[in-house]
Amino acid sequence: MDSACPAGTVSPLQYRGGALHLERVALEAVAQRFGTPCYVYSRAAIEAAYRAYDAAFGDRLHRVCYAVKANSNLAVLNVLAHLGAGFDVVSGGELARVLRAGSKADRVVFSGVGKSAAELRQALAAGIACFNVESAAELERLNQVAGEMGLRAPVALRVNPDVDAGTHPYISTGLKENKFGIPAGDALALYRRAASLPGLRVQGIACHIGSQLTDLAPLREAAGRIAALREALLAESIAIDQVDLGGGLGIAYRDETIPGAAEYAAAISAPFAGSGVEISIEPGRSIVGPAGVLLTRVEYLKPGAQRNFAIVDAAMNDLLRPALYDAHHAVLPLREAGGEAKVWELVGPVCESGDFLAHARTLALAEGDLLALRDAGAYGFAMSSNYNTRPRPAEVMVDGDRIHLIRARETLDDLWRGEEMLAE
């Protein structure tokens, strides 16, 4: 059960005495204590995944900036901050979370296509490390805001290298038809403009070609194109000290073969050999994805002529990825059991036909059984909602044999806090 973990690490999930454990904690105990649905994360797995990336670059100048959008719980961010991680944020809210979790602003890069003037002011006042600028319009706005504040904003242009990462179209970010980044053909002229603006300090180049990458070839191609652009900029006396090469590796949701962190680091670093530039990466999914599970309970079994439905208490509002991407999450019973196995559709109680968590899974099920959906640490709780007026689940982190509640389950009062009825 360790295929989803970074190379060189061991899965935090193991059956012991017939009971599924995360680290040394029986997940049944978590479900009994905090109820279901419930997200549970392994601190050891998060730390091991970060350290694998950090060690992979050896003595080369580098920075591993965790992509906060994958999982923004304060406890997760705090664990990574203690390890010395940098952070990649895409909103003012994420920046505030990172600072609240104990990181310093000078370890933060700010990406995203729609930064507001208020967010630019917030990040400048905090003193972030770099803005990854994604359009000519943003460049002009940032220059204006920085000038009004009497500051110079550190910038990299996020260049779209037009490389096909071969991922789901919803998570592809490096093609010319995507909304992200600056077209490669426009980059040189826009760098000239950036270098001429008094409110900006050009220091880097950024790119990001997509998420859930399992093949190093597109990453090599993108890195090569960024290296060529850097050489062209140096020829025009525009110094580039940093290159941000985007997200990290994918994870094995099914049976994907994932390169090791050392292979990944070598592939993206090769075009910059001997240059002395700092290489930054922005992994998110591969750091927290395999570290987390979503616990759910079988409410009803509904056999049918065409399909057998197992109706569980988790739903698309808790874990959106299957409904949004048709994403696959392995399903494990919390207790190894015998009995007759059947093929089940795992569906939730939300009033949508698209409310499913898993298709055609062969399981021996009974009402009341507890299940774990694997690899749910990334884009699970972070994408959850209150659709159908459903409180969002609790979040728990295990550390060895210790259990920590890191977010309480929402109450109904939480759901309508801030709302007001009309006066009669």
Binding residue numbers for pyridoxal 5'-phosphate = 248, 282-285, 379
> Quick check: is 207 catalytic?
no
Minimal CA–CA distance to 48: which of 8, 18, 82, 88? 8
Minimal CA–CA distance to 270: which of 298, 248, 243? 243
Q: Are 119 and 92 in contact (CB under 8 A)?
A: yes
Measured distance CA(190)–CA(197) in Å, rounded:
11
Q: Which two tokens stand for residue 265?
A: 């680091």
Measured distance CA(124)–CA(152) in Å, rounded:
9
Ramachandran angles phi, psi of 76, nearest 5°: -60, -45
Chain centre to alpha carbon of residue 317:
18
Measured distance CA(87)–CA(79) in Å, rounded:
12
Q: Which residue among 38, 65, 130, 351 is the active-site one?
A: 351
Question: In the beta sheet, which residues pair with residue 64?
Answer: 281
β-sheet with 13-16: strand ranges across = 13-16, 19-22, 25-26
Q: Reduced to 3 states, what is the DSSP secondary structure of residue 127?
A: coil
Q: List the binding residues for substrate.
A: 285, 321, 325, 352, 379
Q: List the binding residues.
A: 248, 282-285, 321, 325, 352, 379
Q: Which two tokens stand for residue 293?
A: 């599970």
User: What are the residues whose beta carbons fall under 8 Å from the beta carbon of 304, sequence distance 6 or more?
Assistant: none
Q: Reduced to 3 states, what is the DSSP secondary structure of residue 91?
A: coil
Measured distance CA(49)–CA(266) in Å, rounded:
17
Q: What is the residue type of 229?
A: L
Measured distance CA(99)–CA(110) in Å, rounded:
13
Strands (E), 68-107: 86-89
The residue count for the chain: 424
CA angle 399, 400, 405 (to 5 degrees): 35
Query: Which positions are annotated as active-site residues?
Result: 351
